[in-house]
């Protein structure tokens, strides 16, 4: 690499460093080495995922067009406020981006209001709670032990807002809130907010009945669709805004296949309520809201309008196929009586409650080229020693895998966890299998899914 001077001459970086003096020279070399090591680790992470089966339920990959937006000059810009009402100059082009994204989101989610500024699903939850509650209010939500997200707990957004948490009775067989007991609790507690949705999310929430109970006592209803937002938008899960939710929050990078970020969504037609929600994001919870990710969301929304319904359908089809194949091979797959899953997730139990068998299984699978996460299942009480795994298929589906491939994936699980085969041997076969699935699909310009490996 050369550095060109004002007169067009060039000199090597080493020559340039010699002018820095011996102490700065040493520091420069050390810091540059550190930077290059970080970039090597970035590349290695891409290689790790490119040669493995990524099955974390909360992850997805970017399309080439979304990646181009995310890697743009917008990453360092600010646009506080709303389109046409900014606190900075230079925002005309971004006004076009955000306005276009909002209109697309209204069509995708079939609603009257969307804020696309939030930087994550958790921030979306904090914003919604800020808009609909005040410190000291009561709130009802799914316990983290039953699959609720950490932002629904005192350790997360609920605690940040200073709310009094009450958790729903849980139906372990159906993997959902117990409708009668939970409705009774809502009527007794009279919360300001009834929060629904989970991190472990196999089936639609019985929302209508519970939302009715919440509205009877004057509570607002929030549906956290972080995991299932793409399935909701794709019309294959449930329709929270028509089933009683006043606000729907969500992540833009799980079953909805965009960049890291969040959404705040409502079908209310009240402008005052829209202003309240917008203000809860800016200035309520975000100052700079990562304009490059907003642009990425806008592109992803356009792609979802074109390909999202097929993608959502194929995700659910693959999750069901994976669950059935795992069960047929001898795995303990939860919710057999309900067909295992209606979402992108599959849950498997690998030992006694709190045994750590899930943690051990996740490690063995990674050694075998399969990336998953351990997860608490009903009855577990120790988050770091759970009995289960949570498996997701959004990324595998995005790469073009279908039902036949799900059976092949289940076979790799069997070899690694039931047959006790050498993980290195399984990993070699997984890597060969994965090499046929390296192009991201359901987008305008299919391209390399793991560009950082280059």
CATH code at 381? 3.90.1150.10
Residues 278 and 189 grouped into a single domain = yes
Residues 396 and 448 in one domain: yes
* In the predicted structure, residue 244 carries a pLDDT above the cut 90: yes
Q: Tell me whether residue 403 is in a domain.
A: yes
**Has residue 23 been placed in a domain?**
no
Residue 9: the pLDDT is: 47
pLDDT at 6 over 50: no
* Domain-ending residue, one of 301, 317, 339: 301
Identify whether 56 is part of a domain: no
Residue 235, pLDDT score: 98
Pair 255, 113 in one domain: yes
The answer to whether residue 198 scores a pLDDT higher than 50 is yes
Number of domains in the chain: 2
Q: What is the pLDDT of residues 207-236, one digit of tens each?
A: 999 999 999 999 999 999 999 999 999 999
Residues 288 and 332 occupy one common structural domain: no
pLDDT of residue 27: 82
Reported as a single tens digit per residue, the pLDDT across 116-146 is 999 999 999 999 999 999 999 999 999 998 9
Instruction: Give the confidence band of 451 by pLDDT, cuts at 50, 70, 90.
Output: confident
- pLDDT tens digits, one per residue of 292-304: 999 999 999 999 9
pLDDT over threshold 50, residue 384:
yes
The per-residue pLDDT of the chain, averaged, comes to 94
The 3-state secondary structure of the chain, one letter per residue: CEEECCCCCEEEHHHHHHCCCHHHHHHHHHHHHHHHHHHHHHHHHHHHHHCCEECCCCCCCCCHHHHHHHCCHHHHCCCCEECCEECCCCCHHHHHHHHHHHHHHHHHHCCCEEECCCCCHHHHHHHHHHHHCCCCCEEEECCHHHCCCHHHCCCCHHHHCCCEEEECCEECCCCEECHHHHHHHHHHHCCCEEEECCCCCCCCCCHHHHHHHHHHCCCEEEEECCCCHHHHHCCCCCCHHHCCCCEEEEECCCCCCCCCCEEEEECCCCHHHHHHHHHHHCCCCCCCCCHHHHHHHHHHHHHHHHHHHHHHHHHHHHHHHHHHHHHHCCCEECCHHHCCCCCCEEEEECCCCCCCHHHHHHHHHHHCCEECEEECCCCCCCCCCCCEEEEECHHHHHCCCCHHHHHHHHHHHHHHHHCCCCHHHHHHHHHHHHCCCCEECCCCCCEECCHHHC
Q: Does the pLDDT value for residue 17 go beyond 60? A: no
pLDDT band at 3 (very low <50, low <70, confident <90, very high): very low
> Are 254 and 316 in the same domain?
no
The CATH number assigned to the domain holding 163 equals: 3.40.640.10
Question: How confident is residue 28, by pLDDT bands cut at 50, 70 and 90?
Answer: confident
Higher pLDDT, 23 or 248: 248
pLDDT score recorded for residue 229: 98
* Same-domain check for residues 323 and 366: yes
Q: How confident is the model at residue 5 (pLDDT cuts 50, 70, 90)?
A: very low
Model confidence pLDDT, tens digit, residues 328-377: 999 999 999 999 999 999 999 999 999 999 999 999 999 999 999 999 99
Domain residues for the domain of 193 are 64-301
Per-residue confidence (pLDDT) for residue 386, from 0 to 100: 96
Examine the domain organization and report whether 277 and 341 are in the same domain. no
Q: What is the pLDDT of residue 98?
A: 98
Instruction: Give the rounded percent of residues in the chain with a pLDDT score beyond 90.
Output: 92
- For residue 7, the model assigns a pLDDT of 44
Same domain, 157 and 247: yes
Shared domain check, 123 and 166: yes
444 within domain boundaries: yes
In a domain, 46, yes or no: no
Residue 52 lies in a domain: no
The answer on 82 and 208 residing in a single domain is: yes
pLDDT tops 60 at residue 10: no
């Amino acid at each position: 690499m050369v550095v060109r001077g004002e007169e067009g001459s060039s000199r090597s970086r080493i020559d340039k460093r010699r002018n820095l003096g011996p102490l700065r020279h040493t520091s420069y070399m050390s810091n540059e080495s550190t930077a290059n090591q970080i970039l090597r680790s970035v590349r290695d992470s891409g290689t790790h995922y490119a040669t493995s089966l990524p099955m974390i339920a909360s992850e997805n990959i970017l399309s080439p067009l979304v990646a181009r937006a995310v890697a743009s000059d917008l990453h360092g810009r600010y646009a506080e406020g709303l389109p046409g009402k900014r606190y900075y100059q230079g925002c005309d082009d971004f006004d076009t981006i955000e306005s276009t994204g909002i209109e697309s989101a209204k069509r995708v989610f079939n609603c009257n209001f969307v804020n696309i500024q939030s930087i994550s699903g958790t921030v979306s939850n904090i914003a919604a709670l800020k808009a609909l509650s005040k410190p000291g209010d009561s709130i009802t939500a799914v316990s983290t032990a039953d699959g609720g997200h950490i932002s629904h707990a005192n350790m997360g957004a609920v605690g940040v807002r200073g709310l009094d948490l009450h958790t729903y009775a849980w139906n372990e067989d159906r993997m959902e809130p117990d409708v009668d007991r939970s409705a009774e609790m809502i009527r007794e507690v009279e919360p300001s907010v009834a929060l629904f949705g989970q991190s472990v999310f196999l089936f639609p929430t019985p929302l209508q009945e519970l939302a009715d109970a919440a509205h009877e006592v004057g509570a607002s209803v929030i549906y956290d669709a972080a995991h299932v937002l793409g399935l909701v938008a794709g019309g294959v899960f449930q329709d929270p805004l028509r089933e009683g939710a006043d606000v729907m929050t969500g992540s833009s990078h799980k079953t909805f296949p965009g960049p890291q970020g969040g959404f705040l969504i409502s079908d209310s037609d009240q402008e005052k309520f829209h202003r309240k929600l917008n203000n809860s994001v800016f200035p309520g919870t975000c100052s700079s809201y990562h304009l490059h990710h907003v642009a990425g969301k806008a592109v992803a929304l356009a792609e979802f309008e074109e390909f999202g319904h097929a993608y959502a359908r194929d995700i659910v089809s693959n999750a069901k196929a994976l669950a059935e194949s795992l069960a047929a091979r001898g795995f303990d797959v939860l919710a057999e009586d309900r067909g295992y899953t209606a979402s992108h997730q599959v849950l498997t139990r690998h030992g006694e409650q709190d045994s750590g068998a899930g943690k051990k299984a996740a490690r063995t699978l990674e050694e075998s080229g399969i990336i998953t996460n351990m997860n608490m299942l009903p009855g577990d009480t120790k988050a770091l020693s759970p009995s289960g795994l949570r498996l997701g298929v959004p990324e595998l589906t995005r790469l073009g895998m279908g039902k036949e491939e799900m059976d092949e994936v289940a076979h790799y699980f069997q070899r690694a966890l039931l047959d006790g085969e050498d993980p290195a041997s399984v990993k070699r076969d997984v890597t060969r299998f994965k090499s046929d699935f390296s192009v991201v699909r359901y987008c305008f310009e299919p391209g390399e899914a793991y560009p950082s490996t280059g």
